[in-house]
Chains A and B, each alone.
Chain A
Amino acid sequence: MLFSSKEFILYFLPAVWISYIVISQFSGRRYAKIFIALASIVFYAWWKLEYLPILLISVVVNFFLSKYLLKNNYAYRKSILTAGIIFNLGLLGYFKYTYFIIDQLNIHTGTSFSFEPILLPLAISFFTFQQLAYLVDAYKNKVQPSVFFDYLLFVSFFPQLIAGPIVHHQEMMPQFEANNKQLPSWENLRQGVQIFIIGLFKKIVIADTLAIFADQGWAAPGQLTFFDAWGTTLCYTFQLYFDFSGYSDMAIGAALLFGIRLPLNFNSPYKALNIQDFWRRWHMTLSRWLRDYIYIPLGGSRVKEPKILLNLVITFLLGGIWHGAGWTFILWGLIHGLGTIIHRLWSRLKIPLPKWSAWLLTFVFIHFAWVFFRATSLEEAYHVAQAMIGINGVRIPQLYTEFINSILNYHLLGPDVPAWSGVIPSRVIFYLGFAAIIAFIPKNSGEITFEKPLRFPIIAALTSAAMILICILTSIDAEKSPFLYFNF
């Protein structure tokens, strides 16, 4: 059940929300929490029932391990923590990396181990990281003991279960405690509805439309030339942002209807002025996780400079690997690690770049790096990267040669066949322009929803209603595509 699907918006969410309110009013907090935990399990099982045992095993094992970790006088706490980390990484590794590792082993050592690719259980990267953090926090006595259904709710709360935001136990569960028998506040309702609709609009109107163009280009990377390659990759750059931030907005919005404030996951990342700034704005809860549970334990910035640089590379490399098993993700992580090092060294020189050039440089760097993130193989990534720097030639789509020739009143440019067969380049430019304006200029969804008290509620309500209408009209003939981060 996608957040953007009719089933979720018209049936699941309203039914669960109304039931939650009724139960919390008449039966109290405890039963309401149990209800929502069970509803979350149904939500997860809806995707594929076969995934459910994996989630439940992971929850049960981690819950029992945490019981021991929370006992201060227990002698084997460290061993339990180690066991917990091994269990979680083992589970993630088995499903996510085994095939890749065996495949590489066969390629590089000549072995012929046979291992069929395993279908990756939905959300495994997210719920594993969330529980790893919980174990570490339990070990450090940062969390309070909880009962099983509370823990189940913490891991499986449906707004954030599938693709985050990755939350800490201590930032989410106390909110459920505070909500005892309270009706949802007007503020939560307003913010929840508003940000949910913004997210829906981002996903359906922008991301899914750009996906059509991006997928067409990426379907034949070897045929791309300069303009096609930039068009294709820019479409993906914006698709990814609007898809994932749209999802996060919807998650935050849905959670707010239950009175739960999830942390923001995006803060206009494409407005970033350097790579470090970008990572403070992109997938913020993953960045926070990597910082708190990898970078800082490695020594963070308290060690000598070469070690700091190494720590940065390791952190980004692991961030890349978290996204998927493949050389492209490894390279993508390394590119970002390297970019961060260059930025750190440049900062030391204290030669500030003009703001616009810092922004442009950062955006182009991030954009190039997404090529490796999107490509299914290194070869594919090289093809596209080559095309982007003009090595595969420069072709102007026929539509524009005709236009330019008509302006010049002379046949200066020869016609050519557009690489995007069936796509009108004007549509690509229109949607890219629209996406770029939204990403670069106005306030983002978080700022619009949370920053200031609402000043013009009627205009805001009308805008939200109009956005819903546009979403409906756009989705009629659109392909229903899952969120990109469901793959991770």
Chain B
Amino acid sequence: MNKRYVIAFPISLLAIFVLYAIFFQKALIYDQGKIPLSYKQLLLENTTPGNRIIFESGSNAHHSIDGETLEELTGHPVLILADNAGVYLPDKLSRLLHFTKPGDLIIMPLEWSYYTGQIHNEHLQHSMSDASHYFHSLKSLEKLKRTLETPISVLLNHAIQNGIFKKDSTDDDIKQLHRHIESEFLAAPYGGIKPDEVNPRKADPSSFGLSCDQYTYLGFDEHTPTQRNALLLSIELILKLKKQGINVVLIPPVVVGNDCYTENRPNFARSFAQLKSFLTSKGITFIGDPEIFKMSDEYYLDSPYHIIPEARKIYSIKLFELLDHHHIFTPGDKNTNTKETIGITLKQKLKKLEDFASQNLPPWNGALIQTNSLQSIPEIQFLTGWSSPETTHIWSLNKSSSIVFKPSEKAKNMNKIQLEANYFLVSELTGLDINGTPLESLDFSINSIISLPMPLSEYIDAHGLIKLTFKHTNPQRPIDNTDIQDSRLLKLQLKSISLKD
């Protein structure tokens, strides 16, 4: 028995590790769904590679790049993938290796912390769920390594919050994504920050708590070899990208504050010089002096790395001038229009999703559905033109919103549809069509509950579906009329829906 244990132990160890690796990858990591879980990933996957300018970094670039301006200046599609400095740099680069082609240009205005970045638990957990594209972009061996480098605390938190065996996007996810991706596209088509994401401005930079230099401290010369592991790995990946014909350019990040780089200037200068020479010696292109991208207090948003939206254009032009001076850009095409291209792609994607979702709808017997249960009721599919459901209502988004449902055999004989809704700010009639046939306009300003005659059997399509499309006149943005930092175009506030005899 003792001999059996001793022989079985190494085999068990191997078996347990293999089983765990399979469990980790199959049961814990979110699958790559029918549509990426983030708009930035959708951009990356659905723009034609080969001539794009891709910005990758943390929230610094997320806040500061004006995609439209740069697209106009360069004639190249601009993608802002930058999100958060907590994301592990090698993971960002592995994703780029996966989704870029020769001719693409990657610009990395990395926050200084990236140069000694360690992998954070928050990133590990995020890359198991909503940002699983980072995990899926890793090579097989890297995936295995990541499996054994993910702490148990991260696994437990992930399993508690997201469950296990989360397979392909479920119907509910599609509902969510639909609204999410569409609203992101409308608010920030290049992948930058959405207006409603912008924090309230802090008038006084000193209220941040840390001085600019404390927050943006580089300290490269003091780092131990182990602190350089992530950077060395990143360098390796950048060199791979370059080898594949993808140009990668590192530049200093934009910083805001009159006191930036002043507190400990000699140390910073020495440290920066060492960083630059270290990177250059490894074959990495690093352009620019940190001072070029230093902005004064008036552009301060909420941290020394975040500029106010009004400063984006100024910064982006400065960025263009620097890179153009170094002949980084290849000739572009003046007709480039990422917004339009991605808009068409998105519409096609959403249409596919709609078809999938509508054909898989369970029959609805017409019973009253209130908005607070819309997230969990699978019978009604909210298609394009809706925001995320709130406790008592769901807002329409933009000028048109659609829902689809499959009436049950009993419900097919019903003759009325009852809707409860209100308007945002302006009371103007709501147009309605059913499976393409226009009906009379609705006016919720007089009565918030409308019972509309509508014999369903006359309208049901070949798949047994009913699609209602609401047309909104004059939707409004809260940000334009109120103090709320919300840039959605809102009109109809739908509260409930039911079918009647």
Contacts and interface: CB of A to CB of B under 8 A. Distances in A.
Given A457-B8, A474-B151, A469 B16 contact: yes
Contact of A190 (B2, B13, B151): B2
A473 B24 CA distance: 12
B16 A186 contact: no
Given A458-B12, A465-B12, A469-B16, A189 B152 contact: no
A393 to B, nearest CB: 31
A476 interface: yes
B143 to A, nearest CB: 16
B2 A473 contact: no
A434 B426 CA distance: 60
Contacts of B11: 461
B20 interface: yes
B326 interface: no
Contact of A189 (B6, B20, B149): B6
Contacts, number: 74
A261 B446 CA distance: 90
Interface string A463-478: 0111011101110111
Interface in A443-486: 453-455, 457-458, 460-462, 464-466, 468-470, 472-474, 476-478
Interface in B24-67: none
Given A473-B155, A476-B151, A465 B5 contact: no
A477 B120 CA distance: 9
B1 interface: yes
B150 A454 contact: no
Contacts of A187: 2
Contact of A477 (B12, B13, B15, B121): B121
Nearest to B152: A473
Contact of A457 (B1, B20, B121, B153): B1
A193 interface: yes
A239 interface: no
Given A465-B12, A469-B20, A473-B155, A460 B150 contact: no
A200 to B, nearest CB: 13
Given A462-B16, A465-B13, A474 B152 contact: yes
**Chain B binding surface SS class:** helix
Give the contact-size bracket for chain A: 20 to 34
Interface string A181-225: 000011101110110000000000000000000000000000000
B153 A190 contact: no
Interface in B111-136: 121
Contacts of B5: 190, 193-194, 454, 457, 460-461
Contact of B150 (A191, A461, A468, A473): A473
Nearest to B120: A477
Nearest to A192: B6
Contacts of A476: 149-152
B8 A455 contact: no
A457 B1 CA distance: 6
- Most chain A beta carbons < 10 A, residue from B8, B11, B121, B154: B8
B152 A465 contact: no
Contacts of B151: 473-474, 476-478
Nearest to A453: B1
B3 interface: yes
Given A453-B1, A455-B1, A193 B6 contact: yes
Pick the most buried of B6, B11, B149, B153: most chain A CB atoms within 10 A of its CB. Answer: B6
Interface of A: 185-187, 189-191, 193-194, 453-455, 457-458, 460-462, 464-466, 468-470, 472-474, 476-478
**Interchain residue pairs A-B with the least CB separation, the first 3:** A461-B8, A465-B12, A457-B4
Given A190-B6, A457-B2, 8 more contacts: A186-B2, A454-B1, A454-B5, A464-B12, A465-B13, A465-B16, A472-B148, A476-B149
